[in-house]
C-alpha cells in the first residue's frame, strides 16, 4: 500500500514538472491539467488541495487557447474564467462561456487578455452580478476577433465592465463585437479607465444605457453602432472624455447622447437620431454636434 502511494506521488510530481517545462507547448497545459485532475480524483481531499494549487500557478503563468481548440466553460458558481495577479491569456480558438455566476470572464489585478483575429468568445447567461466580461484594477482586454456578450442579467449587469484604471481595446480588420440583450448597461467604463473602438462594434437592445463613461474615464469610438437600448445611447459623467466619429447612435429610449458634470465631448460625422444632444452647463463640446 505504501509503495503504491509513493508511486502515485512520483506520477504526480512527473506531471507537474512536465507542466512547467519550457518544451511543453502552451496549449498542452490544459491536457496536463486534465491528467492531474484524473489522478487527484482517485485520492482523498488532500490531493484536491494540491490540484487547486497547480491550477492556480498554471494559469498565473499564461493561458493559451490554440486555433484548433474549442473550449466551453459553463454553470460555474463564480466565474467562467478568472485571469488574475499579473497573468495573461491568449484566445485564438473558439471559447464558449455560459450560465456562470457573477462574471463570464474576470480579468483582474494587472492582468491581460488578447483575442486574436482568429479568436472568438461568446459569453451568455451570466447571473449574480451579471457581468459578461469584467476588466478590473489595471487590467487590459485587447480584441481583434469576435466577441458576443448577451443575455446577461444581475444586480450590476453589464455586457462588458471596465473599471479601476483598466483598458478595453477593440481594434482590427477582422473585428466583430456584439453587446446585446443584457439586462443592464451594454459597456460600462468607469474609475479612470479607457476604451478605444474601431468599426465593427454593435451595442444594441440592452435594458440600460448602451455606453456609460464615468469617473474621469475616456472613450474613443469610430464606426460604432449604439442602437435601441432601453436607457441612453451614450451617457457620460464626472469629467470623462468622449470622442466619437462616423458612428450611428439612434433609437435609444432615454435619448441618444447625455452629458453631465464636466464631460469633454468631440462628435464628428455621426448619425444621431435624437437631437439636440443633452448636456448640463458644465459640459465642454465641439464638432458637428455641440451642447445647445
Q: Which domains does the chain have, with CATH numbers?
A: 1-61 (no CATH), 63-287 (2.160.20)
pTM to 2 decimal places:
0.81
DSSP 11-44: HHHHHHHHHHSTTS-GGGHHHHHHHHHHHHHTS-
Cell 453631465 identifies what position? 260
DSSP 258-270: EE-SS-EEEEES-
> Does the pLDDT value for residue 255 go beyond 50?
yes
pLDDT given for residue 20 in this prediction: 46
> Does the pLDDT value for residue 283 go beyond 60?
yes
Cell 506521488 identifies what position? 9
Query: Which range (63-72, 141-150, 156-165) has the least confidence?
Result: 63-72
Contact 118, 143 (CB under 8 A): no
The per-residue pLDDT of the chain, averaged, comes to: 85
Contact 224, 250 (CB under 8 A): no
With a pLDDT cut of 90, the percent of the chain lying above it is 68
For the segment 190-201, the average pLDDT, to the nearest whole number, is 98
> Does the pLDDT value for residue 97 go beyond 70?
yes
pLDDT tier at 42 (50, 70, 90 boundaries)? low
pLDDT tier at 26 (50, 70, 90 boundaries)? very low
Contact 76, 100 (CB under 8 A): yes
For the segment 91-111, the average pLDDT, to the nearest whole number, is 93
Cell 484604471 identifies what position? 165
pLDDT given for residue 85 in this prediction: 82
pLDDT tens-digit readout, 209-226? 999 999 999 999 999 999
For residues 232 and 236, what is the distance between their CA atoms, to the nearest angstrom?
A: 10
pLDDT tier at 285 (50, 70, 90 boundaries)? very high
pLDDT given for residue 24 in this prediction: 40
Query: Which range (45-59, 112-126, 198-212, 219-233) has the least confidence?
Result: 45-59
Single out the residue of 266, 274, 231, 268 nearest to residue 249, CA to CA.
274
pLDDT given for residue 160 in this prediction: 98
Strand pairing of 257-259 and 271-272?
unpaired
pLDDT tier at 14 (50, 70, 90 boundaries)? low
Amino acid at each position: 500500500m505504501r509503495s503504491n502511494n509513493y508511486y502515485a506521488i512520483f506520477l504526480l510530481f512527473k506531471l507537474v514538472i512536465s507542466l512547467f517545462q519550457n518544451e511543453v507547448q502552451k496549449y498542452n497545459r490544459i491536457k496536463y491539467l486534465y491528467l492531474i485532475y484524473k489522478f487527484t480524483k482517485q485520492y482523498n481531499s488532500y490531493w484536491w488541495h494540491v490540484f487547486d494549487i497547480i491550477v492556480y500557478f498554471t494559469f498565473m503563468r499564461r493561458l493559451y487557447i490554440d486555433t484548433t481548440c474549442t473550449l466551453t466553460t459553463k454553470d460555474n458558481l463564480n466565474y467562467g474564467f478568472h485571469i488574475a495577479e499579473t497573468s495573461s491569456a491568449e484566445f485564438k480558438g473558439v471559447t464558449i462561456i455560459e450560465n456562470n455566476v457573477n462574471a463570464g470572464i474576470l480579468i483582474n489585478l494587472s492582468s491581460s487578455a488578447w483575442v486574436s483575429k482568429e479568436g472568438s468568445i461568446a459569453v451568455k447567461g451570466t447571473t449574480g452580478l451579471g457581468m459578461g466580461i469584467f476588466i478590473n484594477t489595471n487590467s487590459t482586454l485587447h480584441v481583434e476577433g469576435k466577441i458576443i456578450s448577451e443575455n446577461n442579467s444581475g444586480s450590476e449587469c453589464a455586457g462588458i465592465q471596465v473599471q479601476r484604471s483598466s483598458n478595453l481595446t477593440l481594434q482590427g480588420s477582422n473585428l466583430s463585437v456584439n453587446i446585446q440583450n443584457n439586462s443592464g448597461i451594454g459597456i460600462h467604463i468607469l474609475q479612470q479607465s479607457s476604451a478605444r473602438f474601431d468599426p465593427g462594434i454593435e451595442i444594441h437592445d440592452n435594458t440600460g444605457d448602451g455606453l456609460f463613461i464615468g469617473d474621469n474615464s475616456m472613450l474613443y469610438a469610430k464606426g460604432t453602432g449604439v442602437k435601441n437600448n432601453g436607457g441612453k445611447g451614450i451617457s457620460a459623467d464626472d469629467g470623462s472624455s468622449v470622442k466619437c466619429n462616423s458612428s450611428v447612435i439612434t433609437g435609444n429610449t432615454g435619448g441618444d447622447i447625455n452629458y453631465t458634470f464636466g464631460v469633454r465631448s468631440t462628435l464628428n460625422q455621426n448619425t444621431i437620431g435624437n437631437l439636440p444632444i443633452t448636456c448640463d452647463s458644465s459640459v465642454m463640446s465641439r464638432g458637428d454636434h455641440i451642447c445647445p
